[in-house]
Amino acid sequence: MGDSAVAGSAVRLRPGTAADIPAFRALGEAVVPVTYGPIDAAYAQRMLDEWWIPEVFEKSLERNTHLVAERDGQVVALANLGRLARSYREFPHVTGDREVMWKLYVHPDHQGLGIGSRLLAEVEALVEGDELWLEVVDGNDQAYDFYLARGFVEVERVSDGRWPDDVWLRKSLGRTER
Ligand SMILES: CC(C)(COP(=O)(O)OP(=O)(O)OC[C@H]1O[C@@H](n2cnc3c(N)ncnc32)[C@H](O)[C@@H]1OP(=O)(O)O)[C@@H](O)C(=O)NCCC(=O)NCCS
């Protein structure tokens, strides 16, 4: 993974571990409300309360691969990758399995510096099959545009009638020869 300089300060990517859970929570508190509050403030709060908690990170660390970006020794971004079949959530609309990037979050003070692009490239390198999938919350236009500019296409929208839709995106990694 290695180091790279961003605005004069080295950014280091490394695997995430249970020791990072407090930093994951702090990252969530910094990035989730500003990202999702304008879309649905109650949904942003639900995310923090139900998904950005130590118990869920412990389970996620057992099932998924986590990568963090550190800057000056601080965790400034998180990405993870895992198989849909191993998720604790249910996806009745899906037949078969998917390799999914469940999270890509960069601290607001460190966005726009290339860290998200680097983490995405590392996640893509870890994908075993030909496709990487992810969900974007409907209305998260910055992230949606970020992914479309990096080769993802929209495949489907999943609605539960209460919370904002999940928009599923897929990127073909062009590894059909493997
Ligand atoms: C979307 C996100 C992961 C991109 O990571 P990043 O490190 O900011 O992105 P990079 O610096 O590598 O690339 C910049 C690109 O992101 C876009 N971008 C998205 N959000 C941005 C922000 N807040 N600030 C600056 N650029 C942003 C820019 O338009 C730029 O796109 P372009 O290169 O196609 O023109 C990051 O901004 C983020 O964490 N956003 C909030 C949380 C989120 O929505 N996560 C995705 C959940 S599915």
Span 50-54, mean pLDDT?
97
Judge: domain 3-172, CATH 1.10.3720.10. Answer: no
- Ligand 1 centroid – CA 96 distance (Å): 30
The answer on pLDDT for 178 being more than 60 is no
Do 141 and 35 form a contact (C-beta atoms < 8 A)? no
* Rounded Cα distance, 52 and 59, in Å: 12
* Rounded Cα distance, 64 and 81, in Å: 6
> Is residue 113 lining ligand 1, measured as CB closer than 6 Å?
yes
Do 81 and 127 form a contact (C-beta atoms < 8 A)? yes
Do 81 and 100 form a contact (C-beta atoms < 8 A)? yes
Structure tokens at 13: 């990517």
* Rounded Cα distance, 141 and 145, in Å: 6
Q: Would you list the domain boundaries of the chain?
A: 3-172
The answer on pLDDT for 93 being more than 70 is yes
- Ligand 1 centroid – CA 77 distance (Å): 11
Question: Which pLDDT band, with edges at 50, 70 and 90, does 9 fall under?
Answer: confident
Q: How far apart are the first and last CA of the chain?
A: 23
Question: Which pLDDT band, with edges at 50, 70 and 90, does 90 fall under?
Answer: confident
Span 35-39, mean pLDDT?
98
Span 148-174, mean pLDDT?
96
- For a mutational test of ligand 1's pocket, the pick from 146, 165, 166, i.e. the residue with the most ligand atoms closer than 8 A to its C-beta, is 146
* Rounded Cα distance, 34 and 14, in Å: 26
Helix residue ranges per DSSP H, the chain: 21-36, 41-50, 54-63, 115-126, 141-148
Question: Which pLDDT band, with edges at 50, 70 and 90, does 5 fall under?
Answer: low
